[in-house]
Amino acid sequence: MVASSFGCAPPERPLIPGERPTTATDEGGLWAIMDREEARLARSPLRVNDPGLERYISGIACTVGGAYCRDVRVYVVRNASFNASMAPNGMLQVWTGLLLRTENEAQLAAVIGHELGHFVARHSLTRMRTARTVGDIAAFIALGTAGAGVQGGPQAVQAIAISALFAYSRDQEREADTFGLAAMRQAGYAESEAAAVWAGMAAEERAEPARDRGVPFLATHPGAEEREQTLRTLAASAAGTGRMGEDTHQAALAPLMPTMLADEVRLRRPERSLSVFQRLLARQPNEPGLNAATGEVYRLRAALGDDERALAAFRIAAAAPRPPATAWRGIGLVEQRRGQRAEAAAAFRRYLATTPEPPDAAMIRSYLVEGT
């Protein structure tokens, strides 16, 4: 999903459904490498162990991919960054940071359709054949073996490796966009949701202070605003609205949502995280997990007025019929910082009553002793 500065090369013919290259070819060698990395990924501790979720995403891949359904194997990877990538052998990685940011099935279908476009057009093979020297090809393969399995080394190194492996030219990105939108249309999804994915990413980019942006890991596309406008233009001629699949999508993600929210908070990118959470809250304003996570981001940022913002979000979460325990913990920590000892103690007791032995139980009990 990343644009590359590699030179141009003649496009390959499209991959035929069910086709597998022979091992005697350079493409066959690349597939063999990816097969080994797929075996590693299948055993990786970062693979999310949720067969139901993988079946759900595989179903979308089949709906969008049509005749290529049997060529795709889906792996959900626990990584809070926004990314999906499809290896030339059909290994499709979907990162949890991407899932968190998709509001409905159509948006996820847009990303999967785009990745299928790279796969069918054999863009990875084109990129490899564009390498100018044998050394470039060796480096390309070395990066693939280092990163495609998403394990076996520091996460930053793995991310850079995958980014290099699946870095495509702008023309290839446009080709994948066109394929993805056509696949969405044939599957009956709302094509406008492809642009909505990038509208969300553009909002995140605008929210983050320029000093904090740097060079993001796996910056999946250059210029989210440009990508949004391109997709909006391509989808403008679509007849009808198509289906969104919001309820089905939210139900499929629900078991993983607490983990995804906690991982996003741990990134310590408050402006980007708040952009994500506020966009999701616009559709689910009273969702307790989202409100608790929003409160935690405000609490950790601790800018002027953030204590009040955090308390407001935590209290919405705490008022839910089944409130997350983190809401009471957050209220306690904010009230303690504000010097409201009685309120803090009451919230801490609710927290401990809700989760009798949380990992921070000793610390919370020490706060209760100090407050007496």
pLDDT 10s digits, 163-206: 455 567 788 888 898 999 999 999 999 999 999 999 999 999 99
Is the confidence at residue 144, as pLDDT, over 90? no
pLDDT more than 70, % of the chain: 82
- For residues 69, 70, 71, 76, the Cα torsion angle rounded to the nearest 10 degrees is 80
Residue whose pair of structure tokens reads 């390959």 in the numeric block = 12
Helix (H), strand (E) at residue 362:
helix 361-371
pLDDT score recorded for residue 30 = 86
Measure the CA–CA gap between 95 and 204, rounded to whole angstroms: 17
Condensed to tens digits (0 to 9), the pLDDT of residues 80-115 reads 999 999 999 999 999 999 999 999 999 999 999 999
**Among candidates 117, 161, 140, 113, which has minimal Cα distance to 26?**
140
Within 8 A by CB and 6+ apart from 16, the residues are: none
Q: Does residue 194 contact residue 110 with C-beta atoms inside 8 Å? A: yes
Would the pLDDT of 135 be above 90? no
Q: Look at 58-62, 275-279, 353-357 and tell me which has the smallest mean pLDDT.
A: 353-357
**In this predicted model, which residue has the larger pLDDT, 258 or 357?**
258
pLDDT of residue 355: 87
Percentage of the residues of the chain whose pLDDT score is greater than 90: 65
Task: Check residue 147 and give its pLDDT.
Answer: 46
Give residue-wise pLDDT tens across range 150-167.
Answer: 433 444 344 444 445 556
| Cα atoms found within 13 Å of the Cα of residue 88, Cβ hemisphere only | 28
- pLDDT tens, residue by residue, 270-323: 999 999 999 999 999 999 999 999 999 999 999 999 999 999 999 999 999 999
Mean pLDDT to the nearest integer, 31-56: 93
| Cα gap 128→123, rounded to integer Å | 9
* Separation between Cα atoms, residue 131 and residue 138, nearest integer Å: 9
Rg (CA), the chain: 23
- Is residue 38 within 8 A of residue 73, CB to CB? The reply is yes
Question: Among 6-15, 33-42, 67-76, which range has the highest average pLDDT?
Answer: 67-76
Closest to 328 (Cα-Cα) out of 361, 282, 366: 361
Query: What is the pLDDT confidence band of residue 149, given thresholds at 50, 70 and 90?
Result: very low
Q: What is the DSSP string of 171-231?
A: HHHHHHHHHHHHHHHHHTB-THHHHHHHHHHHHHHHHS-GGGTSS-TT--SS-HHHHHHHH
Distance CA 319, CA 87 (A): 45
CA dihedral 151, 99, 165, 204 (to 10 degrees): -110
Mean pLDDT of the chain: 85
With beta carbons less than 8 A apart as the criterion, state whether 14 and 122 touch. Answer: yes
Q: Are 106 and 193 in contact (CB under 8 A)?
A: yes
Residue 41 has what pLDDT? 92
Query: DSSP assignment, residue 38?
Result: H
d(CA 167, CA 241): 32
| 3 state SS of 23 | coil
Give the confidence band of 211 by pLDDT, cuts at 50, 70, 90.
low
pLDDT of 336 strictly over 80: yes
Predicted local distance difference test score (pLDDT) of residue 168: 78
Distance (Å, whole) CA 259 – CA 181: 31
pLDDT at 259 over 70: yes
Question: Pick from 103, 52, 45: which is nearest to 74 by CA?
Answer: 52
pLDDT at 332: 97
- Give residue 345's pLDDT: 96
Comparison of pLDDT for 220 and 233, the residue scoring more = 233
The pair phi, psi for residue 168, each rounded to 5°, is: -115, 160
